[in-house]
Structure 1
Amino acid sequence: MKVIIINKKHKKFFYFVLVLLILESFFILRTPADFLKNEVEFNKLENTDNSNFFSTDIGFEAIYHYIIITKESFVFSNFQLLIAHKSQYMNATIVTIEEILTNQSFWVNGTYGDATNKSNGNPFIDDGKEVTHNFDLFNDTEAKIRNFIRYAHLEWGTKYVLLGGDVQTIPVRKLYVNISGWDAGFIFDRSIEGWIPSDLYYGALNGTWNNNFNEKFGERGNSIEDDEADLYAEVFIGRAPVDGKYDIATFVKKVIGYETTEKPNNVLLHQSNLLPVRIPDTSKISEKCADYIPSSYNIKRLYQKNELIDNKKWASSFREPDKLLVLHIGNGYFFGPTNSWYQLYYNILGRGKFLNTDIGLLSNEFYPLHISISCMSGNFVFSDCLAEELLLWSEGGPSACFFNSEVGCVKKENVIKYSGEFIKFLFFELFQNGTQNLGKINQYAKEHFSGDIHIDPNYRWVYFETNLLGDPETPAFEIRNKLPPSYVYVDDDFDENTSGWGVTHFNKITDGIESSFIDGFVYVYSGTYNENIVIDKTIHIIGEDKNSTIIIGEDEKNIILMKSNASSIKNFTIKPNQNNKNTIGIYIPIDSWGNTIENNIIIENSLSGIAINGSCRTIIYNNIIRSNCNGICLTKKIEGLFEKYIVITCNNMIEHNEIALNSGYGIYMQGVLNNHIIRNNFIDNGGGSLKDAYFYLSRGNEWNENYWNKPLTEPKQIRGLWGPLYPPIIDFSDGIIFPKLKYPFIINIGIPRSDKDNNPAQSPYDIK
């Protein structure tokens, strides 16, 4: 237990600092719209979805250089932190989809709609070019969002828009391209056509993108003047492809982390073959990019022609040392949610693939920019495309992806042409032309061949398909200031006589949580806290010492309920009151992703030490989980024979824990896929080694280097029921050239089989 003592001569200074901290926190968490409109008064964030606190009513005359467009239910999220961070440098705010869709100014016949021309107040539509029929095509959500961005650009001076959601939140306009002589297959030329997901539509605001008012937006004309596409953006667009608050927390963490960290002077260039033989030589693309990298940078070349590149080598190359930028050159594809990949090597024996299920291997602390030429790895229309998984993995991977939403384009006779050319210009804009912001880098790289796209449709294809999954305003090299962190302190000896009582100092952890801001810290001094705790917002609770900072649950329920995203709890002993008989130490319910449980002692719970139900990306690290019924339970409720959905890339990380003397299972997993159980001690659970671990309708899990009661001379067998089954069908809706796998149903049937820990530890780890 620790008591803060303040000398009299320091008391005035303490109160002065305290007032500053309160005011600072107040200002950080309000958007510019809240100040200027003076709509509400508040001094802390409650766990409520009242979006009036945080979004800007359309029509208010103010200047916002940066806008996040998202849905109402995402307003109260870590997007607020991003707005606060950006507001240190420019005016920034959030606008909701719901506001946009109900404002008739943004409908097809509204002031900024495509059926209104210059003479009637819309400067973006020339007279005679306005829509005159098929109005519904120009009155969908995509059109209304674009019309709002027109308004924001004109009235607010907006230059950067972050689309805050995947296509279920912010739909994408698909642009049409037809190529009569596509030769990237290297076997024979063929005709292809595609409707390409492209966020360029939202940033290039002139015209309707559809002069003949048919279903094909962005068709080629005979000249630039006749072209349907507007190639020059007034507003720079990026997308956060998020579908939940965990995704938002991860995205914001990476953006702010990149912007506030000193940039490493290391660049990784990769090369793999497009065919099993090294024809054409794709390293020419990487070397052309290298020409633009200043000599002060260290270039790491990871080329297939020089060495075999496996998944672990690829993952380690992100962090050893940290990279500013990672370039990937090679094939890729989206065959389905379990098979989205890009290629690390390709030879006569086959391909080396880095799949979306491999992202758990990434553990870099600096989040680089990532560029890839691979096909469809950035097609965010599909759930679990590789770029999304890389971007939204909280423990590593990139902070921004410049990826293709369709197949990449190369030329047999000149491998640098088309997609390689665009990548070359990304490097030019980044390193040579002084272009700072990621959205501008993406756009200006395209504009180098804007004059060619009505002549050669391959350029049009590339122009449309390269999207930025990342923040468009992020400066590539500037090091920005971090927001001051928010702290509160808890000690069981604090009372009303303690300075800061009821504001920053409390004697209950629950009160400290209630008074904390999003992403704030609650420091808990040694003592005994008899309470059940609910964590209902992103927050970090840190005990002074896990042996002497003790939480004892008062009620027969979850001692700690983590119904939040990206929160953490560290350095506690967590146990029930001795009279309670139905307890779980830490319970994480459905849709509470990305939480961290670290360095705790979790003991004597009659149900489970840790139970996670339907949530993923939890980090369970360096805990002692002992003398419970079950140690750790990872489950998803199974409903009948046919499942509605399943998370393919769950990626819970259970590492370096002591899981011992639990009367039931050490670890029990049900209905969860692709988890990592590594370097743990399993000791005498369930009275024997057969109950150390068990899985039911679970698959794709990694077991590695765990200690299993005693030294083993052969792989450890982990019993279970492998499943569920999701048989694929081949989908040719994009043509026979571009097949995909679809999974029409998930069957809750399993096959008895064992997983293996092929590298069992020979002695227990020292976990204290």
Structure 2
Amino acid sequence: ADENAQYVIITNNELKNASGSYTFQTLADSKIAKGMSARIVTVEEIASNQSFWVNGTWGDNNPSNPFYQSQITKNFSMYNDTQAKIRNFIRYAYMNLGTEYVLLGGDADGGNKGSNVIPARYLYANETGLPLLGLPPAVTLGFEEDNIPSDLYYACLDGNFNYDMDEFWGENASRNDIADVDESDFYAEVWVGRACVDSAYEISNFVMKTLSYEQSEDPYIGKVLFLGEYLGFPGVSAYGGNYKDVIKPYVPSQYDLTTMYDRDWPGFDPGNPWETGWSKYDLMDVLDNATPCVINHDGHGFVNYGLRLGNSDIDSLRNDRYFFVYSQTCLAGSFDNCYKGHYYSDDCAAEHFTVETPHGAFAVIMNARYGLGSEDTVDSPSGHYDESFFKALFELGMREIGKANLYSKQDNVWRINENGMRWACYETNLFGDPEVAIKQPAMGVKIVEPEKGFYLFGNGPLFSLDKTVAIGSITIKVNASALPPDSVTKVEFYVDNVLKSSDSDFPYEWKWKGFSFGGHDVKVVGYSKNGEVASDEMQMFVISL
């Protein structure tokens, strides 16, 4: 019987055998060490196995294939290219090996065949009249269509994504020339991410940063940064910060959420909006010296530019605590290095963040083509996927970034044929390990009342002191938080190590009354459903009869 492989890395022979401090084998071993089964499979192995050819066991033209949906009668070679064979292998792995996670371990440079390790499948979409998040100033085109490199093809395994056998993959039902059937599948069988590597150095950077983040217990894991640029769209849509404010409620309170919004930036001038917001140097200082763990961004970009950073700026970062970015910016995730048919020699910004440097990000989700905004509303195609991603992450507990990204697409299937939704669905690709989970801060417990100062019969502080002094009864109030939300089970209140009360319901508080004269140590201890324990304490001088 085939050995299980919950986690599969697909790469080529050269990259599988690359030497270095960190290799794909290092990553596979790390999965095994945490109790998973894992293996590396090469493109060469897959391509030579006839089971994965178009008429093979797992091929698109085999009616016995459980994922088969329609007969192929022409253009057979399109369904027998490297992309199709890799997808057919993933079908086999899902059904026979118990595979849940797939890392596509290779670049897909469109203009450089030597770096086209795991080729992209291009899916067709169009949009009409939506504001674009390309390089400023703001641009709106009347009609835009493109073939978008999309790893959705490797995650969603039903059908062949090209029902009518033409040159366009992933068309909606109205463009299907044969039947009134949508060519795409939006429901993932496996969780997919991509490491856009083409050298041992890039593998080492990617694996090192992934493992460093997974092993980190640094407090930075609780820091979240929301970045909002001036967009130049009409009305409320003018500011990225307005779009980011929609996402804020999803971030649990125990995270330290800060914002850098042009809208609120000191010295921002609406009369000169493109020049007076936060600068790339402001952001680089934060990334290097006050590194957040999670960044959510809305702003303009290009193939080699995102978060107001060009590729050379990204390469100059020196942080050694690595972050995750979700960005709605245009083109920074164009991993085929392409814009309107022109192929750039340099890799895209997403690749620079994740594999080109030993600093920067451990993972990003970025757009392969134009990010899509809106006019006088914060409801936008790119924004819908952004919101669903953070809902999955924090509200539904889908901490693995591969799961959350693919859930965001599934969550919006009901409106996939609305203007721009298919486009934004196809272009949001994960550059990172799909099994990596966004960490949660430890349980937090803090005495919020009383503060330092003088209290009289519970009222105060009437004036400041260097300690808390209370005459008469006083209420001890506590903030306690843990993830998932509502998982705090109780808070205990101690005076001089003697348990005085226990409160299992929010708000957590205890009214101290009865005789007391002198100094006391007050301690509170919180407990959560998943076994966490946290505490806080303070000294008080209490006079009470």
TM-score (norm 1): 0.50
User: What residue number does 1:178 align with?
Assistant: 126
3-state SS of 1:82 partner = helix
Decide whether aligned partners of structure 1 residues 180 and 394 sit closer, same or farther in structure 2, where only a CA change above 3 A counts. closer
Give 1:314 deviation, angstroms: 0.7
The reply to whether residue 341 of structure 1 matches residue 335 of structure 2 is no
Aligned residue in 2 for 1:318 = 287
In structure 2, the partner of 1:255 is 210
Match of 1:287 in 2: 245
Q: 1:475 aligns with which of 422, 426, 437?
A: 437
2:402 to 436, 439, 453: 439
Q: What's the CA shift string for 1:433-461, capped at 9, x where partnerless?
A: 100211101000121111111x3141100
Q: Is the 1:264–1:323 Cα contact (8 Å) retained in structure 2?
A: yes
Which residue number corresponds to residue 164 of structure 2?
Answer: 212
Percent identical residues: 37
Shift of 1:138: 0.4
Separation in structure 2 between the aligned mates of residue 183 and residue 403 of structure 1, nearest angstrom:
17
**Number of the residue aligned with 1:327:** 296
Higher helix content, 1 or 2:
2
The letter of the residue matching 1:113 is G
1:463 is aligned to 425
Q: Deviation of residue 280 (structure 1)?
A: 2.1
Residue identity in the other structure for 1:216: F
Contact 2:132 2:330 in 1 (8 A): no
Partner of 1:231: 186
**2:326 partner SS:** strand
Query: What is aligned with 2:173?
Result: 221
Larger mean CA deviation between 258-267 and 402-411 belongs to 258-267
**Aligned counterpart in structure 1 of residue 373 of structure 2, from 404, 410, 424:** 410
Report matched runs for 1:420-431 at 5 Å: 420-431=383-394
Match of 2:537 in 1: none
How far 1:177 sits from its partner (Å)? 0.9
Preserved CA contact (<8 Å) 2:239 2:262: no
Give distance in 1, aligned partners of 2:387 and 2:95. 33
Instruction: Indicate yes or no: 2:315 matched with 1:360.
Output: yes
Supply the RMSD in Å over aligned alpha carbons. Answer: 2.1
Q: Secondary structure at the match of 1:190?
A: coil
Q: Does 1:378 align with 2:333?
A: yes
- Once residues 189 and 152 of structure 1 are traced to their aligned partners in structure 2, the CA distance between those partners, rounded to angstroms, is 42
Alpha-carbon distance between aligned partners in 2 of 1:243 and 1:361, rounded to the nearest angstrom: 21
Q: Is the 8 A contact 2:132 2:373 kept in 1?
A: yes
TM-score of the superposition, structure 2-length normalised? 0.70
Distance 2:107 2:94 in 1: 23
Q: Which runs of 5+ in 2 are unaligned?
A: 109-115, 266-276, 338-345, 442-545
Instruction: Say whether 1:87 aligns with 2:32.
Output: yes
Maintained 8 Å contact 2:221/2:440 = no
| Unmatched 5+ stretches in structure 1 | 1-59, 335-339, 344-352, 480-768
Cα displacement (A) at 1:75: 1.4
1:470, distance to aligned residue in structure 2 (A): 0.1
Question: CA contact under 8 A between 1:264 and 1:322: conserved in structure 2?
Answer: no
How far 1:291 sits from its partner (Å)?
1.0
**Count of residues in Structure 1 that have an aligned counterpart in Structure 2:** 400
Using the TM superposition, give the Cα deviation of residue 237 of structure 1 relative to its aligned residue in structure 2, in angstroms.
Answer: 0.7
Distance 2:384 2:157 in 1: 25
Paired residue for 1:104?
A: 50
Q: Is the 8 A contact 1:285 1:424 kept in 2?
A: no
Report the Cα offset of residue 311 of structure 1.
2.1
Whole-angstrom distance in 1 between the partners of 2:367 and 2:233? 22
Distance 1:277 1:231, change over 3 A: closer
2:330 partner SS = coil
Alpha carbons of structure 1 residues 193 and 451: separation in structure 2 relative to 1, 3 Å: same
Structure 2 residue aligned with 1:391: 354
Contact residue 11 and residue 117 of structure 2 kept, 8 A: yes
Shift in alpha-carbon separation, 1:290–1:180, aligned structure 2, 3 A:
closer
Distance in 2, Cα, partners of 1:221 & 1:276: 31
Cα distance in structure 1, aligned partners of 2:324 and 2:284: 15
Decide whether the 8 Å contact of 1:163 with 1:237 is kept in 2. yes
TM superposition shift of 1:313: 1.5
Secondary structure of 2:325's counterpart equals: strand
Alignment-mate amino acid for residue 169 of structure 1: V
Which residue among 258, 264, 267 is the counterpart of 1:306? 264
**3-state SS in 1 of match to 2:173:** coil
In 2: Cα distance, 1:189 partner to 1:276 partner:
13
Residue pair 1:372, 1:404 contacting (<8 A) in 2 also: yes
Q: Match of 1:76?
A: 17
Match of 2:528? none
Matched residues in 2 for 1:189 and 1:370: separation? 27
Structure 2 residue aligned with 1:157: 98
Could you tell me how far 1:95 is from its partner in structure 2? 0.3
2:107 aligned with 1:166, yes or no? yes
Render the CA deviation track for 1:346-390: whole Å, top value 9, x for unaligned: xxxxxxx41001123322221111111110000111141101001
Q: What's the counterpart of residue 232 of structure 2?
A: 275
2:331–2:367 contact (8 Å) kept in structure 1 = yes
Contact kept in structure 1, 2:233 and 2:376, CA below 8 Å: no
How far apart in 2 are the matches of 1:255 and 1:101? Answer: 29
The 3-state SS of whatever aligns with 2:104 is: strand
Matches of 1:205 and 1:478, distance apart in 2: 32
Matched residue type, 2:251: I
Q: Say whether the 8 Å CA contact 1:362–1:395 is kept in structure 2.
A: no
2:543 maps to none
